[in-house]
Amino acid sequence: MRVLVVEDERGLAAAITRGLTEEGFTVHTALNGVDGLWSATHQPHDVIILDIMLPALSGYEVLKRLRAARVWTPVLMLTAKDGEYDEADALDLGADDYLSKPFSYVVLVAHLRALLRRGAPARPAVLAAADLTLDPSRRKCQRAGQEIPLTAREFALLEFLMRRPDEVVSKSDILTHVWDENFDGDTNIVEVYVRYLRRKIDTPFGRHTIDTVRGVGYRLNTEG
């Protein structure tokens, strides 16, 4: 099993390498985001351990570019409590699992084995709900084959909803994930953007894709 470790703390990278090698893994390391992205896209790996805080290119950017390049190798993200991103962000960004630093080596191996058992899922590159499609890597939204131009924020909001089909999501959840956590405006902004979205993806087509769940939030209706 080939593991790519992208970690700029040399001591930690060396310790992980030593430990995993003893467990029978073949380990490659990259000490910054640029090298990590190159290795991840050009060499076959079964799993990638990716630190978030990296010089040159953050783990967040590495992961985004990796998925945009349709590389679906499972990624275990290393997060730090005092970091800019937390565990929820790691999963939201497309990581398959995360570990907060400091972590125990036994726990790391257990997480890796679980990820390897799951393998790389064949992920749908394009999200779909009835005849509405959203292609995150191409930044394209279409309904019934007709392209719908969306602003970056509208796109992010629709993507967030389409990744949780038929689930009720609260306005504050949307606010946290689509706006940044430091946004201190009120949740009315979510209502405003849902309205913008409906005007583009629903109204012209006589559809109702985004349901309002009173007092809670919204639900992407896959049959709407």
**Residues binding Ca ion (CB under 5 A):** 8, 51, 53
129's enclosing H/E stretch is: strand 127-129
Q: Least distance from C-beta 39 to Ca ion, angstroms? A: 16
Q: Least distance from C-beta 53 to Ca ion, angstroms? A: 4
Q: Least distance from C-beta 185 to Ca ion, angstroms? A: 32
Distances (CA, A) of 91 to 124, 134, 144, 177, 209: 17, 20, 31, 11, 25
Q: Least distance from C-beta 86 to Ca ion, angstroms? A: 15
From the centroid of its chain, how far is CA 86?
A: 12
Q: Least distance from C-beta 105 to Ca ion, angstroms? A: 18
Nearer to Ca ion, 51 or 159 (CB): 51
- CA gyration radius, the chain: 19
Nearer to Ca ion, 49 or 115 (CB): 49
Give residue number: closest CB to Ca ion.
53
Distances (CA, A) of 38 to 29, 42, 46, 48, 67: 11, 6, 15, 12, 13
Nearer to Ca ion, 53 or 161 (CB): 53
Q: Least distance from C-beta 34 to Ca ion, angstroms? A: 14
Q: What is the DSSP letter of 70?
A: T
Nearer to Ca ion, 105 or 183 (CB): 105
113's enclosing H/E stretch is: helix 105-118
Nearer to Ca ion, 47 or 53 (CB): 53
Q: Which of 216, 141, 202, 188 is nearest to 179 (CA)?
A: 188
Nearer to Ca ion, 66 or 148 (CB): 66
Q: Is 57 helix (H, G, I), strand (E, B) or coil?
A: coil
- How long, in residues, is the chain? 224
